[in-house]
Amino acid sequence: MQLLYHIHMLLSSSLPHPTQVMSQRYQIFWTATGIALTVFLLQGAITTLVKISETEGLWTIRFNLARREHLWWAAIALAFVASFSSMVLSFLAGNNNNSLGIILLASASSLAVFRYAWPAWRNRHYCSNRWAAWTGPSRTGIDASLVPLIEGNDPWPILSKDVSVMRQHSVDIHLPIFKSNLITDDPTDILKATKRLIDTVTEKQPDEKSKTPIKPLVPNNKTGLYAPVHLDKSASLLWGSHIGFSPRVSRGILAVPQRLLQSFPLTSSGHDGQPVCLAHGILARNKGLQPHTFILGLNPGRLEQKCVQWPRPSKVLRTYYREEMNAAYGGLGPTFVDVATELALLLADSSHSLIEDWLSLRMEHQDLALNNQLARLGASDEELKILYRLSYAAMLVSLSAHRKGRKWRPEMKLFTAYWKKCKGEVPAWMGEAAVVERIVKEESGAGDTDLDALIEAVLYKIDTPRSV
């Protein structure tokens, strides 16, 4: 009997006291409840910030947040799952009052995972490419009165320093979380503010006005100016992070319908609007001067057969995409609408990784370094203008021939083909070693792609002198 008594006392001492069991149950319960409340508050804060960004036109903030949308939804989903697991443990420990909480958390967890986290994770590549398409380098026209202010090898840090610009547009505003040395203001706003400051000083001290004549500007890659540059004419400027500016969404987004700016956009006809949104972003920031003068004589069938995206399943959407682009760019003429439509179709048939690589190399823009190089080699203003007018045709050929690792836009190949077709003998500077080397790079970079056929497809309807 004494032995049985001692065994009973030993077993009794090893079991937790009922009060301790009850305490553990409630501890698990309140842990689950705390996690759930924290997640709800976090989700509400993020959703509110997203809604405010869209309503107030804070598109730089909105698109920047969207790049990380899959991460925060994944975190929220995991937190809900953790809270649900804690609630189940509390229920298994004997807290039978948690049955309703388990049902609610199971529903919330399923909704977070399958309705938000999983679609956001699948959409992450598009959101990243949308940011690149809308915030890459922008090409803009600079008024003739502002052109003389852009001087020196690296003028923008100096121009932006201690210059009070007007209030930023809502599209330009960034989240002030991390301090950056990049310039957040628009270059045109900086130049206008600088001119106002100079004019104010001149009015107060007219005798101090400089008598030194203004020297002609020599464009270089750090100024961002395309040749030719004349002090009495407007100039074309390529600006972005490559010359010290902070990426921000193009203000052209104000003309884009709200339905195309959602994370899962739709066209007016109800089709997938992702390629259209990307095309709008690319076109909004690289028009430059006189975009209605672009040269393009497109043969869509020929381009479709020879591009790397063949067999081009999205070609059946041509009519629907054209309606979208005609509504947006009809005022710039049929050539611009053709470019916009074909660009959207090419983007629709391109993989996310190919688009990412193409945009990261700035292949959507006319090559600034090549433009400046040709100006130094002796290209005339008219020849440089034709190179610019062919820039959108070069963009289509570039995307049609692009594979990862290809770094050369076929600008000189296209220029040569156009010049021979419409003008005859090529200019003398085309024989320079640098130009010949560039053409070789464009040809070798195309790999097994029939670059000549693609160029022929974008110049197909261009009239030759003999047919006029």
Q: What's the pLDDT at 205?
A: 67
pLDDT of 44 strictly over 80: no
Residue type, 343: L
pLDDT band at residue 462 using 50, 70 and 90 as cut-offs: confident
Question: In the numeric block, which tokens belong to residue 107?
Answer: 């529903």
CB 389 within 8 A of CB 294: yes
- Averaged over 74-100, what is the pLDDT? 65
pLDDT of 21 strictly over 60: no
DSSP 213-282: PPPPP---TTTTBPSP--TTS-EEEEESGGGTBPP---GGGGGS-GGGSSSS-B-TTSSB-HHHHHHHHH
Residues 197-236: tens digit of each pLDDT? 888 877 666 655 444 444 546 667 789 999 999 888 999 9
Global pTM reads: 0.86
Q: What's the pLDDT at 446?
A: 80
pLDDT of 10 strictly over 50: no
Residue type, 440: V
Q: What's the pLDDT at 212?
A: 44
How many other β-carbons are positioned within 10 Å of the β-carbon of residue 255?
Answer: 10
Question: In the numeric block, which tokens belong to residue 284?
Answer: 């909004």
Question: In the numeric block, which tokens belong to residue 344?
Answer: 């959207």
pLDDT band at residue 243 using 50, 70 and 90 as cut-offs: very high
Question: HSE (CB half, 13 Å, CA atoms) of 201?
Answer: 8
